[in-house]
Structure 1
Amino acid sequence: MPTYKIKIYTTPTCPWCKRAKEYFKQLGISFTEVDVSKDRKGAEEMVRKSGQMGVPVIEIGNQIIVGFDKAKIDRILGIS
């Protein structure tokens, strides 16, 4: 599996954010977490990249996924 730089924009109260982080941990894939409730620059970056204010927003390489879309994550990572 190729290595990708992964960033997850989250908030502490978001259940889908927790699921996304758990999924990457299950796969043994490291990621950077940006808590947009505390990081204003991170929140602005998320909106600029995704056009969305909702979380999670997952960045895998240069691909943006809005929400926890497991099928899309698997497709990007080459997991069948």
Structure 2
Amino acid sequence: MQHAKITVYSTPACPWCKRAKQYFKSLGLAFKDIDVSKDRKAAEKMVKKSGQMGVPVIEIGNKIIVGFDKAKIEKILQI
């Protein structure tokens, strides 16, 4: 399955982050997981892109989704 690059900005304690990552795995989609609790520069980049400090922030191609919004993800991925 061909798709845009997926990045998940997350923290280990976030249950919605875990759900988002499980969802991408269940679809067989590769994604980059960035732990913003350990990477300050990535956290700043996430806030700059999304305007949000909460996780997960999911980047698919050039689209930003704040939170685990399955409907938005499926719309962007066209599935």
Give TM-score scaled by structure 2 length.
Answer: 0.97
What percentage of aligned pairs have identical amino acids?
73
Which runs of 5 or more structure 2 residues have no equivalent in the other structure? none
Which runs of 5 or more structure 1 residues have no equivalent in the other structure? none
Partner of 1:7: 7
Distance 2:15 2:52 in 1: 17
Partner of 2:49: 49
The answer to whether the aligner puts 1:34 opposite 2:34 as a matched pair is: yes
Quote how far apart the aligned CAs of 1:38 are: 0.1
RMSD (Å), alpha carbons: 0.7
Spell out structure 1 runs of 4+ moving beyond 6 A: none
Distance 1:13 1:36 in 2: 11
Give TM-score scaled by structure 1 length.
Answer: 0.96
Distance 1:2 1:71 in 2: 19
Distance 1:19 1:7 in 2: 14
Equivalent residues, number: 79
